Amino acid sequence: MSKAFTKENDSGDAAGDDEITLPPLPPGGKNYITPKGYKVLRDELLALIDDERPRVVEAVHWAASNGDRSENGDYIYGKKRLREIDRRIRFLTQRLEIAEISNPSVHHGSEQVFFGATVTYADASGLLRSVTILGIDEADSLHGQISWVSPVSRALLKSRRGDEVNLVTPNGVQQLEVIDVQYPEPSPEPD
């Protein structure tokens, strides 16, 4: 059996109870998302339903009217694209149904890390990094955004400015120091 499926460390001993492990995922498996992220997903869903799907259905109908469907590239591609659109519509609908909208601006001015925080932290070598903790469906690592269920987020959540936290990595435990915690400004209430 592969070592990947056993609870043994390199010395061959069974893993001890005092080992640092990742905290468990929150019960209920909520899909936290910011209001902005929810709007982006909802806009994509509406665009697929109102614009793209009808356009592809029309193209498939036109291609089907041209005769032999088995060798009709427009028809074959259109049907494939229609299946992709329908799959994405189902996915977005399901994600939006279980979405738990959480506005990070309610924590503006707080020094504790919660969902929506932009956290600057230093690793053991002193390298500074800034990440924004967002929902699974809206996080984009290219823009310094990480999912709230990622190991880094789970290590940082509920810590405060100045705290040191342990990040469990495949190469061992890393210590991170929370340098700064920022939240977006609350938007003015509409009149």
Domains of the chain (ranges; CATH) run 31-100 (1.10.287.180), 104-182 (3.10.50.30)
User: Average of pLDDT values for 128-157?
Assistant: 93
> What are the phi and psi torsion angles at 16 (to 5°)?
-80, 160
Q: DSSP for 129-152, please give it.
A: EEEEEE-TTT--GGGTEEETTSHH
Confidence band, pLDDT 50/70/90 cuts, at residue 166: very high
pLDDT for 38:
95
Per-residue confidence (pLDDT) for residue 74, from 0 to 100: 83
Rg of the chain, C-alpha, whole Å: 23
Pairing state of beta strands 172-182 and 118-122? Answer: antiparallel
pTM above 0.85, yes or no: no
Q: Which of 71-75, 78-82, 102-106 has the lowest mean pLDDT?
A: 71-75
> Which alpha helices (DSSP H) does the chain contain, by range?
35-47, 53-64, 73-97, 151-156
Find out whether 100 and 32 touch, Cβ atoms under 8 Å. yes
Query: Stretch 147-168: mean pLDDT, rounded?
Result: 93
34-76 residue pLDDT tens: 999 999 999 999 999 999 999 999 988 888 887 777 777 888 8
From its phi and psi, is residue 61 left (phi > 0), alpha (psi between -120 and 50) or beta? alpha
* pLDDT tens-digit series, residues 4-14: 444 444 444 44
Q: What is the mean pLDDT of residues 118-141?
A: 92
Question: Could you tell me if 75 and 63 are in contact, meaning their C-beta atoms sit under 8 angstroms apart?
Answer: yes
Query: Is the pLDDT at 140 greater than 70, yes or no?
Result: yes
